[in-house]
Every structure is written in C-alpha cells, then in structure tokens.
Chains A and B, each alone.
Chain A
C-alpha cells in the first residue's frame, strides 16, 4: 500500500530552544484512520501543524501524496483538510458562505452541488443560511468539518475532534469519521482519550515528549501489550507475599487484603493453576477472584514509564 503521508525525521525546535518534535518518522497509508495518541503537550498538534503548513519544521521532510509540503506546498496543501481543535470560526458568516470561502481558498472551482451534498451529509443543510454565531457548539464543529472537506481533500486532519464534547456528540463524531472513511479519505486524528483511539483508529501512534514511541495496528497493539490482571481478594490480610510464591509476578494491595497477579494471555502457560495451588499450600484462603484486561491507558502509561526509566538508567 502506498503512503499518503510520509514523515521523515521531522524536528521542530522553537526559538526559545524548546524541542517540540524530536525526529518523528511515520508513514500514513492511503484510506486508513490513524490516531495520534499522547498527553497534552506531547507534540501532536505541532506534528499536524507542521504537515499542514502552520508551523515550519526545523528538520526532516514531509510529503503528502508525493508532494513536499514546503517546496510543493500548493499541491500538497490542496490535498489536505484540517479541522482545528478550537472552535475558530468567523461568527457573522453564514454556514454556506463559510464553506464556499474555504473551497475557494483551497483553489477549487465553485461547485454548489458538492457543497450542498456535503452539508446534507453533515446535517447542516437546513442551517446553511444561519450565521455561525447562532449555532450550538456541536453544530459549529460540524461547520469546521464542512470547511475542511469543502475542497474534497484526500487527507483529513482532526485535531482533538471530541475535546470538550459531550458523550452524545462524541458518538456522533465517531459516526461521522466512520462515514468519512467509507469515502476513501485518509484520516489522522489526535486524541488523549484512549477509548477514542481504540474505537476509531485502524492504527495507533503513541507520541510523548516530541517522540513517536510506536505505531501499531490497534488490535495488535492491544494483543501484544494486552496483559491481564487477576485480583485475588483474601479472607485474612497478608503482611508479605509468602516466600514460596516469590517466583510469581505478584503484588499486594489494599493493606494486604488483595493479591494482584499479572500474566500474559498469549503466553504458553499463564501459571494461574500452579499459582493458586501454591497459595492454597501456603495456607492463604481466597475470598474472591476477578480478572481484567489492561486498557490502552495502562499500555500507554506503561510505555511512557518504560521510556522514562530507560532514560533514567542512561543518565
């Protein structure tokens, strides 16, 4: 499959010396939904801004549809639509004129039929003559999407599409994104909601402190790092883990009221049966057992933690 967006060693250092991107490389495939996942300040928006032309990268290169975003910026940018994080819209403009303006700005000839269809798809058509200031927050976000799609781009960037959006609107947004994927648009979205990346994305890229920690298929990422935890509630609290059980990945929680056992679901042996047998042998009585899949949140926290530790060791 061809790469729609090719990012090679992109760096961004601001004048004050702050390095927002530390050599990010990433290929985004045509037609996929890629989620850039990371905490606030990780460099997600900077990366998007560098691709879209809002920020000039200080190193590396970016190609969109084979066009260099700096040297062939006209061809590259004509293929891109950007939905910003903030609801930034001209308040006195009508929905229709706002969409027309964006289409013209991106160098596309007027096409009222296309815009009409677009607004209908986004349930905005009956609001087309309203001033933007009269619309609700959810509607405004739709207008931003309509503006970004007004010139029929091949690549769509959604920067935190559901930040500050209520649950219902979030589901709405997910549906819109799913419908957009059907039209063949390549979609890159940023989020710090893991749940969101999991629900929408084909692949997930984890970004932290200006570095891309990994990029993987959503399912594979979940499976590879998807460890499970078993929580064993005890009748009698334990002061320490019995010596016979030191070989198992166990830890005590709730002042000795519970034992937590971590294991890999994909390993040949989970060791559960032997571990429980050993517990019984040691005279520990079990009140309850429950298991849980580690969420992407845990994975993410784990990854960042790992990296920080590695850094600490190196230092």
Chain B
C-alpha cells in the first residue's frame, strides 16, 4: 500500500478546495439561507408543523442531504474527470499505485469536502431554527456514509464520462430529481397514497428519512431499512469500483 501516494492525491485535491474556498463555502451557505427564506419562512409559515416538528427545522436534514449528495458527487466526478480531460491521468497510470490508492485519495477528498459543507449548512441552519439532534452517532454515521457512497458514485461517473455533457448528465437528470422527490422538503406521508408507493422506489427517500430520524426521532420508513439502503448503495458502488479496477474499464487501454 502506497500511503504516500494516497496522501499526495488527497492533499492535491484538498488544495483545489482551498484555492476555491470562498466559492466552495459561500454558495452552499447562500443557497441554504435562500431555502430557509423560501421554504422555511414563506411557505413554512402556512405549514406550521410536520409531525410535531416546526417546518423550518423539518427541512434541515433534507437540505443537508441534498447538498451533501450533490457536492460529494460533483467533487468526486470532476476530480477524476479533470485529469482525464487535461491528460495528466498519464501520471496516475504510470505511478506505483493501484486503483485502491487512487480511490482513497479522490473519494476521500471529495467526501471530506462534502462533509465539511454539510456541517457548514448545519451551522448556518442553527441560526435560523432551533435544532435538536436526538441521536448524534446515527446522524454522523448517516452523514459519513452518504458522503462516501455518493463520492464513490461520483468517481464512477467521472471515470465513465467521455465529455463534460456526460459528466453533468447523471447529476442533472438522475440525482437532482431523485433528491427533490426524496422527501427533502416534505414527509412522504403528505403525498397521495399511490405516490407514496412510487416514492418507496426512490433510494434517496431512505437516506433522508434515516437522517431525519437521527435528528427528530421520526421517520417515513423504519430506520433499519434506511441503514440497509445506504449500506446497500455503498456496497453497490464499491462493487462497481472493484469491477472497474479489475477490468481497467475506460482507464487503461
């Protein structure tokens, strides 16, 4: 195991984050504040409470999930796509590293960034609403697993993508709709019954639900199922990455 290489990749990726620190931090903070103004204050004033939690507080877990997923995904996919695009991938391929070190470096850095931004949103949210976190370990576990699994997913997209359009395709066409339909801003119990069934096919529902359970102790689906879902998703991504590693798919000719 070439830990020095993992460190080198991780540092280089984090350096990019630091270089663009202001925009990395400011844009999620601003958009979170906007969500609070729109959903929390404007719409929330009419919704009042969802299952005993003020609407403003209710949307916080979903909001964090929304941002963490998109950030982990886009950071990891861009992180590995960029060297492919500008050609510096030659260095990774010729280095004494296996795919494992490359993944640890890129996915680790992307997950770290996403985690950091997630925590920033949590802090920002605490200025707007009174937050309670009933189960800290579960909250951290869900947050970490989401950061890691979506960074892995992003890494796969970055490997797969042949151009910038493809790089944007999955986040735009798949992830964003799933996240918005995943109960970030509402409880799926508020949906008509038929749609509730449909929603159960959306993996994001399980993540948001489990994460919300860690905050308020209430969930759309049993928390064990949520844990299984995120565990399963992580496993699926790991298997896909393992397969890429075995076959050298899209990397080594």
Contact = CB atoms under 8 A, between A and B. Distances in A.
Interaction A to B: yes
B20 to A, nearest CB: 9
Contacts of A88: 86-88, 90
Contacts of B253: 14, 54-56
Contact of B252 (A54, A77, A102): A54
A200 B19 CA distance: 41
Interface string B9-39: 1011001100100000000000000000000
A74 B12 contact: no
Interface size class of B (residues with CB under 8 A): 20 to 34
B97 interface: yes
A192 B96 CA distance: 29
Contact of B5 (A14, A55, A80, A105): A105
Nearest to A106: B95
A86 B90 CA distance: 11
A78 B94 CA distance: 9
- Secondary structure dominating the interface of B: helix
Contact of B94 (A53, A89, A100, A101): A53
B106 to A, nearest CB: 12
Interface size class of A (residues with CB under 8 A): 20 to 34
Contacts of A105: 4-5, 8-9, 91-92, 95, 97
Interface string B233-252: 00000000000000010001
Contacts of B9: 101, 105
Nearest to A88: B87
A147 interface: yes
B93 interface: yes
Contact of B96 (A54, A77, A93, A100): A77
B8 A101 contact: yes
A80 B96 CA distance: 9
Contacts of A89: 86, 88
Specify which of B2, B12, B87, B94 lies most central, judged by the most chain A CB atoms within 10 Å of its CB: B94
A282 interface: no
B87 A86 contact: yes
A93 B94 contact: no
A100 B8 contact: yes
Contacts of A106: 5, 95-96
A73 B96 contact: yes
A109 B12 CA distance: 16
A14 B253 CA distance: 8
Nearest to B86: A88
Contact of A77 (B4, B83, B86, B95): B95
Contacts of A82: 90-91, 94
A8 to B, nearest CB: 20
A149 B82 CA distance: 23
Contacts of B82: 90
Nearest to B253: A55
Interface string A66-110: 000000011111101010101011111100010011111111110
A104 B8 contact: yes
A212 interface: no
A56 B248 contact: yes
Contacts of B87: 84, 86, 88
Given A52-B94, A54-B252, 17 more contacts: A14-B253, A52-B93, A53-B94, A73-B96, A74-B97, A80-B94, A82-B90, A82-B94, A84-B87, A100-B8, A103-B8, A104-B7, A104-B8, A105-B91, A105-B97, A106-B5, A147-B91
